[in-house]
Chains A and B, each alone.
Chain A
Amino acid sequence: MSTLGFCDLTISYDGVCAVKSFNDILHSGEWLCLIGPNGAGKSSVLRAAAGLVEYSGSVAIDQKEIPTTSARWRAQNIAFVPQTPLMPDDMSVVEYVLLGRNPYIKHFASESARDVEVVEKIFKRLDLEQFSNRMVGTLSGGERQRAVIARALAQEAPVLLLDEPTAALDIGHQQQALELVDNLRREQGLTVVSAMHDLTLAGLYADRLVLMHQGLCVASGNAQSVLRSEILAEFYGVSARVHHEPDGTVVVIPQRSTIN
């Protein structure tokens, strides 16, 4: 059981405020999706939770403040998938995924049999076995994304932070990646925070959406309440129709401003 709490989180870079008083609390198995235009502060919230930026206010896992914890403890409790991960081309997939075991390996030791076992299980789960000895540089976009998620899962952390996990993927691989995360959080009770640009997909998978704009949280709730055309017009400056499917799915459809 892990609770991830944000309280009055404020982040500024060189005096410019990127996030202002962000508040939220997530329980085990919940999926929160941060949406909002570019530069709204979504990534900053994720990076604060991963212990990568300084902030004021509080971000805590089970009441443990992030900056007071060691990098090793954080990595055992939070897995972070950045927007554009740096993947060395000449590293094999199995070597790459084994990096996820780093928080469990003593400073100067090497991987134990258990580490290899964990990674093998994940390879099976993500259907990556045939790639294990391929070089990362030879993978396609979808395969790379799966390798990154595999590395994050190898951390066996109860909290998963995903920064635009589907940005580089086609529609099929987008669905595949999100289905995978969704299954994992149901099976293992992962707490997921993701930042996403595809509003329809965000509404489809997340329990809650938080719309951010210029560092502020301007709307939050389920897809029906956040994804409304007047809200999207105000904060994205987009002219879009919002369509409600009978099963509750909310579909956002951009519109052309002039119709011939």
Chain B
Amino acid sequence: MLLAKQAAKTRAGTRFSAWLLASIALLITAVLVGTMIGPAGPQWWRVPLELANRLPLISIDSGVTSEQWNIVWQIRMPRVVLAALVGAMLSVAGASYQGVFRNPLVDPYLLGVAAGAGLGATVVFSLKRQTTQNWLIDPLPLAAFAGALIAVLATYLVGTAFGKTRSSTTLVLAGIAVTSLATAVQTFVLQRNNDVVRQVYSWILGRLSSATWSDVRLILPYIVFSSTVLLMHRRLLDVMRVGDDEATALGTNIRRVRLVVVLAATFGTAAAVAVSGLIGFVGIIVPHTVRLLAGASYRRVLPLSILLGAAFLVAADIPSRVLADPAETPIGVVTAFFGAPFFLLLLRAKKTQT
């Protein structure tokens, strides 16, 4: 009996390792393809050769000129890395939010991150954008980041002030109220500044096109910190799956866990939104795909969401560059356009399987 159990246990273990390896392979493939494809630059097959050439101890003549290499390294690479960071962050934040609120439909924008960031960005676009974008530090990501954090802080204050009970419903409702308020203010500001509607709209649809290494450096610490904190809570998120009362009776301080997880997820999401705009859908579709493939335990969902979320957004960014070449298709459109049918197919396959 014990042997059978151990065998089954290792079977689950190997399945998880298999998914882990597959996700890593997928991510590497996506990154490679992402650096190989794009307007201008060297022929696609020369890029991996040159990348290998840049590794220590390896010397290959790839025939890539230094100008072409600049396109790869200064334009494509930061964009790919940024897509990976943002995708990983939105996915792991979405999964964590779904865990602490025990609601599968929740996304990382739940508590007002999106509306707050949108308002912050709108304000910057409306105030002499011509001069501000040439400032030493572009105020756009900072305003979006600050807007997101202020909105979530307001949600938290309102939600905990009126919600005496342990339930998280008041917090979610407060998030909806703050979102509506911020959206109303944003609409008002836009009404008075008709000329920036287009810019704000394209920001809201999300974009990675103007990514630079400095964007990567800007958000990397936040995203590493947030994801680490969330990953550390993966076992506790499993405990929370049995409900607030039972998790408390099992010895978990659910308020503290919820606060820390929400803060970490919000912090990381706000950083991601600040440089990429609002890329929808990733935070819902990736965690659910992982659940369907590898099971619902957060010990598997969180690490796999990070890897697959990164791979998904890097991959989604490729058609967004190529589809309407030379114009950019907003990445939010691509994630929804390809993500939704894929997700439906997956649901269907899972249904026929069981």
State the A residues within 8 Å of B (CB).
Answer: 47, 50-52, 70-76, 78-80, 82, 85-88, 90-92, 94-95, 99-100, 102-103, 105, 107-110, 120, 123-124, 129-130, 132-133, 155
Contact = CB atoms under 8 A, between A and B. Distances in A.
B228 to A, nearest CB: 11
B44 to A, nearest CB: 42
Nearest to B229: A108
Contact of B251 (A47, A74, A133): A74
Interface string B288-315: 0001000111010000000000000000
Nearest to B296: A90
6 contacts: A50-B249, A70-B251, A78-B249, A80-B249, A86-B242, A91-B241
Interface stretch (B34-42, B148-156, B201-209, B232-240): B232-240
A154 to B, nearest CB: 10
B146 to A, nearest CB: 30
B241 A105 contact: no
A102 B297 contact: no
A87 B8 contact: no
B250 A85 contact: no
Given A47-B245, A102-B252, A110-B299, 15 more contacts: A50-B249, A51-B249, A71-B252, A75-B251, A79-B249, A80-B246, A82-B249, A88-B242, A90-B291, A102-B239, A108-B232, A108-B235, A120-B5, A129-B1, A129-B2
Contacts of A79: 249
B48 interface: no
Contacts of B248: 51-52, 71
B10 to A, nearest CB: 11
Given A90-B295, A102-B239, A102-B251, A82 B246 contact: yes
B93 to A, nearest CB: 19
Interface string B1-44: 11011001100100000000000000000000000000000000
Contacts of A51: 248-249
A99 B2 contact: no
Enumerate the 5 nearest inter-chain pairs by beta-carbon distance, A residue then B residue, closest first: A75-B251, A103-B251, A86-B243, A72-B251, A80-B249
A65 B226 CA distance: 37
B232 A82 contact: no
B210 interface: no
Contacts of B245: 47, 52, 82
A107 B236 contact: yes
Contacts of B70: none
B253 interface: yes
A120 B4 CA distance: 12
Interface of B is mostly: helix
A41 to B, nearest CB: 17
A52 B249 CA distance: 7
Contacts of A52: 245, 248-249
A72 B248 CA distance: 9
Contacts of A70: 251, 253
A133 B8 contact: yes
B242 A85 contact: yes
A132 B250 contact: no
Contacts of A95: 238, 297
A132 B5 contact: yes
Nearest to B299: A110
A223 B46 CA distance: 87
A160 B336 CA distance: 50
A146 to B, nearest CB: 16
Contact of B5 (A73, A82, A103, A129): A129
Contacts of A109: 235
Nearest to B257: A107
A17 to B, nearest CB: 18
Given A99-B239, A129-B5, A133-B8, A91 B297 contact: yes
B239 to A, nearest CB: 5
Interface in B246-276: 246, 248-253
B252 A88 contact: no
A99 B238 contact: yes
Interface string B163-201: 000000000000000000000000000000000000000
Nearest to A77: B251
Contacts of A155: 250
Contact of A105 (B232, B235, B249, B297): B235
A206 B178 CA distance: 53
B37 to A, nearest CB: 38
A105 B245 CA distance: 19
Contacts of B243: 86
B242 A87 contact: yes
Interface in B113-129: none
Contacts of A107: 236
B333 to A, nearest CB: 32
Contacts of B235: 105, 108-110
A133 B239 contact: no
A10 B8 CA distance: 49
A94 B4 CA distance: 13
B98 to A, nearest CB: 12
Nearest to B231: A108
Nearest to A100: B250
Contacts of A133: 5, 8-9, 12
A195 B239 CA distance: 25
A95 B235 CA distance: 11
Contacts of A87: 242
